Amino acid sequence: MPLRDGRRDPVFNAMPPAVLILATGILLVAGAEYLLPDVGRWIFSASVLIEPGPGQLVPQQPLGPYAPYLLHVFIHFGFLHIAMNVAILISAGRSVGMAFGTGVKGSAGFLILFFACSVIGAVAQILLHSGEPMVMGGASTGVSGLIAAAGWVMGGWRGMARLALPWIGLNIILAFAGMAFPVPLAWAGHIGGTVAGIILTPIALGLFSEREF
């Protein structure tokens, strides 16, 4: 069911703690890469998702080969990449986070949903990439799930369709465009994260929401 409380608070009022945790983590990692190069390089090598080309081996990563499926959301490639993902995280994440609630249970549910979408998006990117060597980072797998989740909490399945389907359509266009011109965007990861958000949001809200719908 959609969440309708009629309030239109400024975006930073009552920001859910889980959103602040994620945004702060992303910005701290970016700061470490610039201010503490050795620490930044370790975080990058432990977190970035790597898919080698045919016959190539994945380089050894400090936390093992599976940690990047979760941790890639903290690695970004430049200011614009960070700004876009943090902006969507804050705008979509606020409504989703408030639907879960700002307590421990609601915050845990939000983070579980976000990272589930991130992992599913990463798996989709690995499965559907072209076979060329790939290095992937960024919170867009998770925030793609939040786009669908924001639609759910603001307008039910119709609201979800209004937000999620255009985003999926845009990424399908990017996939076809990439056949002619290389497009350095993880379109499969975006679609995978969005589909995960479509399916998992009602389940996660039912299990973790602190609010009545």
pLDDT in tens, 48-84: 998 876 677 777 889 998 999 999 999 999 999 999 9
Domain 17-208 has CATH 1.20.1540.10: yes
Least confident stretch, 121-125, 147-151, 209-213: 209-213
Tell me what the mean pLDDT of segment 11-35 comes to. Answer: 89
- What integer pLDDT is reported at residue 177 of this predicted model? 80
pLDDT > 90? residue 181:
no
Please name every residue paired with 135 in a beta bridge, in sequence order, or none if there are none: 50
Q: Could you tell me the residue ranges of all domains in the chain?
A: 17-208
Q: Percentage of the chain surpassing pLDDT 70?
A: 88
Task: Give the C-alpha separation, 134 to 171, whole Å.
Answer: 18
Task: Give the C-alpha separation, 49 to 46, whole Å.
Answer: 9
Q: Percentage of the chain surpassing pLDDT 90?
A: 73
pLDDT > 70? residue 125:
yes
Max Cα-Cα span within the chain: 57
User: pTM score, two decimals?
Assistant: 0.90
- What integer pLDDT is reported at residue 170 of this predicted model? 94
Residue type (1 letter), 153: V
**Which residues fall within 8 angstroms of residue 199, CB to CB, at 6 or more apart?**
none
Indicate the pLDDT class of residue 145, thresholds 50, 70 and 90.
very high
- What integer pLDDT is reported at residue 129 of this predicted model? 76
Indicate the pLDDT class of residue 212, thresholds 50, 70 and 90.
low
pLDDT top residue among 10 and 161: 161
Tell me what the mean pLDDT of segment 22-35 comes to. Answer: 95
Bridge pairing between strands 49-51 and 134-136: antiparallel
pLDDT > 60? residue 194:
yes
Mean pLDDT across the chain: 89
pLDDT > 90? residue 10:
no
pLDDT > 80? residue 131:
no
Tell me what the mean pLDDT of segment 155-180 comes to. Answer: 91
